[in-house]
A and B are shown apart, each in its own frame.
Chain A
């Protein structure tokens, strides 16, 4: 595939006009034709469910697939903090341009201007749509929608539903999807996993799935295929993602010619519950919204830190002047609300210096004592309590904090057994989100005609770092408001294409490929569990391609992955057989794909000789230790083609016409 030309297909014209001009002039598919056109949507998280529902409403014949037992279980359900929209309800100076600018800057100037502008433009419609569906967003006493602020921005534009925003948004989309299922417009295939993409004459025309209950392989045909299969953070084994999140659908796309863009751009979230032991299966996020009120610190002296680690002291025993509120110190303008990549690296720096506070040394405090006091005083004031006692203030303050973050505090206590109202929380960064994903153009189409990618599965609008509350926004923008239009660019040329038949030889060939792959895995009959390989892969990724990276480590890591992959194909053990419900086999196909993706991530991180956003190369930093971008040589999207010997890099140069590339500073 040498010399693939990556055409962004961004419409001409002024940035502000592009999307409306596009909508006004794009090719349409007439209703009578829509009825004959079939669309496959794989994945029914926020992006997939919203897309499938909307395409169904428009009249397309949609077939939707999820490996879950119900669309309502998708990983999107776990999003806590909120969703951004440029509504400017708070009258604090927000605008479409500001959301656009914040996203471009937050992403360290590694995303496509036109896509990001469109995202900001449609963001307001998302909120309207969700309210109409019955999403119970938080409200003010006057009955209007409430907002909070998130890291990396100076306005309040985040809409939320307690700490369960993703759940409520997904249920909204799931209900819209359910309505289309009930009318027969969408056929829903639960517990069906996509194991291959089928192309005919170069176009994506269907998928091969495995019915997870019976193990039976099935062929599904359509005029085009939309992947909304989520992110691949679980390549690190430990992450905040749901256990089932994986790369396989996207990766099977790559194996059929699609390109993987910016795969090394991983978001490490600063506020997660620290790792406690080897048995650990996943990490739990403590929503970023907590940084609105929590102050991050470590003890100034190592002695205090050691005393805390050994259980001789508690956080509360450390006097105010002996604490280092390092974010407030280093970044006075944004303080505890610096973007995620900056906050995560700062935590690593503090712990690497020996000031970490958990037994492992890998944790910092997130402290709510000041917030409790501040809210307590305000509450006492509004209740006309004169000279309230300290105990009264604390009580009132705790009630306010509980109202805001109650469920998060409860979750923390359930997991750690510690009460965060009394003692500061302990947190540490963890893998959370992948900015990288399938390369797509303005139409969200990959380089394979007829193959589209939405939500976290595409390389998207977040550049090298995503701002909080922007993934939900992007997933729903893609599904509700972008793909319903842009898919027409492809499908309007397909109105004469008859129904695609799954009897075409290409389907049989792809099905055989899948069968061979499963047979191969089942026949290894080695001695090590799938889980053990996954865990080892995760350790390699975290060590060499995690929060900070260097050339030597990346080369070593890549080699280690290649060896691990070889060992996997010699010694993995999968119990049971392929023709039945077999969760271990499901895990095995996912880990097999992670073992290839991981190598490409190492290659990508090695190629990018700069530090930007979540990608921090130790060789490229300022004297103060801040990330140093290299715009001259690296203002491009990397897009990788799989090749067993040496993955091949393709590039899409990025042009910035509406923002000036600046050093990202949150000081």
Chain B
């Protein structure tokens, strides 16, 4: 299949960027990133600078890949990361626009690569259980209801990709933050610090320059792990209780 790609090229953080056009010949069995590899190999063979984009596991779990494809973070397929998207979802002759995540808290580094270290700092602000190695009781000491464990897992499935932020008109990181708060808060081990954690993580999120949540729901639609927006409601409750002093 013959494709036209319009790709965001930007030399560096402080440089201006623009869309540039490329033609590429791909096969429908390729993944989207393999198609990008083909383009880059071609650019290199012409001694031109390849397009910088990030990826690692290429199987939808590390959260590194992050392309806005035709205006949608991770492209058109529901519940799919960029690296899992295959060319069979496109047609011969298509023009595809490829851009980086765009958000104040995710500055562009080069081309399609952005800096998402703000997410790490949100986790550092309390996204953990304070337990030192060696202090743990037996794993079966506290039974956890199967459904509770599953619902904690659903929240824990977040891969930290940032598509929720890229999708949000306000550039809010509420879905990401709430997923962590819900993951830990739904488990007895994480309950103790639940309210305090909610507050410190939200405060850090604000400090990083992420926007406010206005319940547009765009994050949930684009999240490749289908993290539920209900987590945001849970976070709002625990955040408020942390401010007004009740414990749970």
Contact surface of A with B, Cβ cutoff 8 Å: 50, 53-54, 57, 68-75, 77-78, 87, 89, 125, 127-134, 136-145, 161-162, 164, 166-168, 171, 174-176, 178-179, 181-182, 188, 190, 213, 242-244, 276-277, 279-282, 284, 411, 414-415, 417, 480-481, 484, 529, 531-532, 573, 575-576, 580-581, 583-584
Interface-lining segment among B95-103, B116-124, B207-215: B116-124
Q: Is the CB of A175 within 8 A of B128?
A: yes
Determine the chain B residues whose CB is within 8 A of the CB of A143 once the complex forms. Answer: 143-146, 149
Judge whether B140 is part of the interface by a CB distance below 8 angstroms: yes
Please tell me the number of chain B residues within 8 Å of chain A, measured between CB atoms: 75
Q: Are A77 and B62 in contact (CB under 8 A)?
A: yes
Kindly provide the distance from the CB of B148 to the nearest chain A CB, expressed in whole angstroms: 8
Query: Could you say which of B49, B120, B128, B140 contacts A70, with CB atoms under 8 Å apart?
Result: B120
Q: In the complex, which residues of chain B have a beta carbon less than 8 angstroms from the beta carbon of A244?
A: 56
Query: Please, which residues of chain A bring their CB within 8 A of the CB of B129?
Result: 132-134, 175
Do B62 and A279 touch (CB < 8 A)? no
Known: A144-B143, A171-B156. A529 touches B62 (CB 8 A): no
Q: Is B167 at the interface (CB under 8 A from chain A)?
A: no
Q: Is the CB of B187 within 8 A of A136?
A: yes
State A377–B183 Cα separation when bound (angstroms).
35
A415, B86: Cβ atoms closer than 8 Å: yes
Sample of 15 A–B contacts (CB below 8 Å):
A68-B56, A69-B115, A87-B139, A125-B134, A132-B136, A132-B137, A143-B143, A144-B140, A174-B123, A175-B129, A242-B58, A243-B58, A281-B58, A282-B59, A414-B86
- Roughly how many angstroms separate A74 CA and B138 CA in the complex, as a whole number? 28
B230 within 8 A of A: no
Separation in Å of the A516 CB from the closest CB of chain B?
24
CB distance A128 to B189 under 8 Å? no
The answer to whether A69 touches B133, judged by C-beta atoms less than 8 angstroms apart, is: no
Nearest-CB residue, chain A, relative to B48: A575
Residues of A within 8 A of B73 (CB): none
B81 to chain A, nearest CB (A): 10
| B31-72 near A? 1/0 per residue, CB < 8 Å | 101100110010011011110101111111111100000000
**By the criterion CB–CB under 8 Å, are B57 and A78 in contact?**
yes
Distance A631 CA – B152 CA, assembled complex (angstroms):
49
The answer to whether A137 touches B125 (Cβ under 8 A) is: no
Judge whether A277 and B56 touch: CB under 8 Å.
Answer: no
Residues B157 and A164 in contact, CB atoms below 8 Å apart? yes
**Given known contacts A136-B183, A484-B133, A529-B41, is B140 in contact with A89 (CB within 8 Å)?**
yes
Q: Are B27 and A279 in contact (CB under 8 A)?
A: yes
Residues of A within 8 A of B139 (CB): 87, 127-128, 130-131, 137, 145
A279 contacts across to B, CB distance below 8 A: 27, 30, 34, 37-38
Q: Contacts A73-B62, A176-B128; is A133 near B189 (CB within 8 Å)?
A: yes
Q: Is the beta-carbon distance between A178 and B128 smaller than 8 angstroms?
A: yes
Which of A73, A188, A481 has the largest number of chain B CB atoms within 10 A? Answer: A73
| Pairwise interchain contact B33-A281, C-beta atoms closer than 8 A | yes
Return the chain B residue nearest A581 by Cβ: B110
Is B29's beta carbon under 8 Å from chain A? yes
Contact partner of B59 (CB less than 8 A), chosen from A139, A178, A411, A532, is: A411
Residue from B113, B119, B127 whose CB has the most chain A CB atoms within 10 Å: B127
B156 and A168 contact, CB distance less than 8 A = yes
Q: Quick check: A277 and B127 within 8 Å, CB to CB?
A: no
17 new A-B contacts at CB < 8 Å, known A129-B136, A164-B61, A176-B131: A72-B160, A78-B59, A128-B136, A129-B134, A138-B149, A139-B145, A139-B146, A162-B153, A164-B157, A167-B159, A168-B153, A175-B123, A175-B127, A182-B124, A190-B120, A281-B58, A583-B50
Which of B56, B86, B183 makes the CB contact (< 8 A) with A243?
B56
User: Closest A-chain residue to B13, C-beta based?
Assistant: A213
Could you say which residues of chain B place their CB within 8 Å of the CB of A127? Answer: 139
Q: Which of A75, A277, A411, A529 contacts B60 (CB 8 A)?
A: A411
Q: Are B133's CB and A53's CB within 8 A? A: yes
**Which of A72, A162, A284 sits near B63, CB closer than 8 Å?**
A72
Collect the chain A residues with CB atoms within 8 Å of residue B57's CB.
75, 77-78, 242-243
For A245, give the chain B residue with the smallest CB separation.
B56
A484 and chain B: residue at smallest CB distance? B133
A69 close to B64 (CB less than 8 A): yes
Given contacts A69-B64, A181-B124, A531-B41, contact A140 B136 (CB under 8 A): no
Distance of A75 Cα from B58 Cα, bound (Å): 11
Q: Once the chains bind, are A70 and B187 in contact (CB under 8 Å)?
A: no
Give every chain B residue within 8 A of A584 (Cβ-Cβ): 44, 50
Bound: A53/B129 CA distance, A? 13
- Shortest CB distance A166–B (Å): 8
